[in-house]
Homo-oligomer: A and B are copies of this chain.
Amino acid sequence: MMKAYLDNGNTTPVDKRVLEVMEPYFTEEYGHPLFIYSRGRKANEAVERASESISSTLGARGNELTFTSGATESIDLALRGAAKARRENGKHIITSEIENPSVLRVCEKLDENGFEVDYLNVDKEGLIDLEQLKSLIKNETILVSIGHVNDEIGTIEPIKKIGEIILDENPDAYFHTNAAASYGRVPIDIDEANVDLVSLSAHKIHGPPGVGALVAKEGTEIDPVNYGYQSLSDLRPGTENVPGIVGFEKAAELSFQDFDSKIKEMREIRDKLIQGIENKISEVILHGPRDENRSPANVNFSFKHIEGESILMHLDLQGISVATGSACATRKLEPSHVLTAIGLDPVIAHGAIRFTLSRMNTTEEIEYTLEVLPKVVENLRKMSPMSKR
Interface centre among A16, A31, A72, A75 (most CB of B within 10 A): A72
Quick check: B26 and A208 within 8 Å, CB to CB? yes
Interface string of A49-76 (1 = CB under 8 A from B): 0000000000000000000111011011
Task: Tell whether A69 pairs with B241 under 8 Å between CB atoms, given A13-B27, A227-B76.
Answer: yes
> Which residues of chain B come closer than 8 Å to A283, judged between CB atoms?
none
Given contacts A32-B11, A209-B244, A210-B210, contact A203 B37 (CB under 8 A): no
Q: When the two chains form their complex, are residues A243 and B209 in contact, meaning their CB atoms are under 8 A apart?
A: yes
B36 & A243 in contact (Cβ 8 Å cutoff) = no
**B37 to A11, Cβ gap below 8 A?**
no
Contact with B along A332-345 (1 / 0, CB 8 A): 00000000000000
**Contact across chains for A30 and B16 when beta carbons are under 8 A apart:** no
Is there a chain B Cβ closer than 8 Å to A23's Cβ? Answer: yes
Stretch of A85-93, A100-108, A124-132 at the chain-chain interface: A100-108
Are B109 and A209 within 8 A (Cβ)? no
A31 to B13, CA, bound (A): 8
Considering only residues 202-220 of chain A, those with a C-beta below 8 Å from chain B are 203, 208-211
Q: When the two chains form their complex, are residues B225 and A226 in contact, meaning their CB atoms are under 8 A apart?
A: yes
Contact B312 A237 (CB under 8 A): no
Determine if A242 is an interface residue (Cβ-Cβ < 8 Å): yes
**Assembled-state Cα–Cα distance A208/B25 (Å):** 10
Task: Determine whether the beta carbon of B106 is less than 8 Å from that of A227.
Answer: yes
Distance between A103 CB and nearest chain B CB, rounded to angstroms = 8
Q: Does A196 contact B (CB under 8 A)?
A: no
Given A7-B35, A13-B30, A69-B241, A106 and B210 contact (CB-CB distance below 8 Å): no
Instruction: Report the count of interface residues on A (CB-CB < 8 A).
Output: 68
A289 at the interface (CB under 8 A from B): no
* Complex Cα–Cα for A309 and B229 (A): 21
The contact of A228 among B106, B208, B229, B316, by CB within 8 Å, is B106
Which of these, B10, B76, B101, contacts A226 with CB under 8 Å? B76
Which A positions have Cβ atoms within 8 angstroms of B? 7, 10-14, 16, 19, 23, 26-28, 30-32, 34-40, 68-70, 72-73, 75-76, 80, 100-103, 105-106, 108-109, 203, 208-211, 225-230, 237-244, 309, 312-313, 315-316, 321-323, 328, 330-331
User: Can you offer 19 A-B residue contacts whose CB atoms are under 8 A?
Assistant: A7-B32, A7-B39, A10-B32, A11-B30, A13-B27, A16-B27, A38-B316, A69-B238, A69-B241, A70-B239, A73-B226, A76-B226, A100-B229, A101-B229, A102-B229, A208-B243, A209-B239, A210-B211, A225-B226
Known: A14-B243, A37-B321. 14 other contacts (CB 8 A): A11-B32, A11-B239, A13-B26, A14-B26, A19-B23, A35-B323, A37-B312, A76-B227, A105-B227, A105-B228, A209-B241, A209-B242, A209-B243, A225-B225
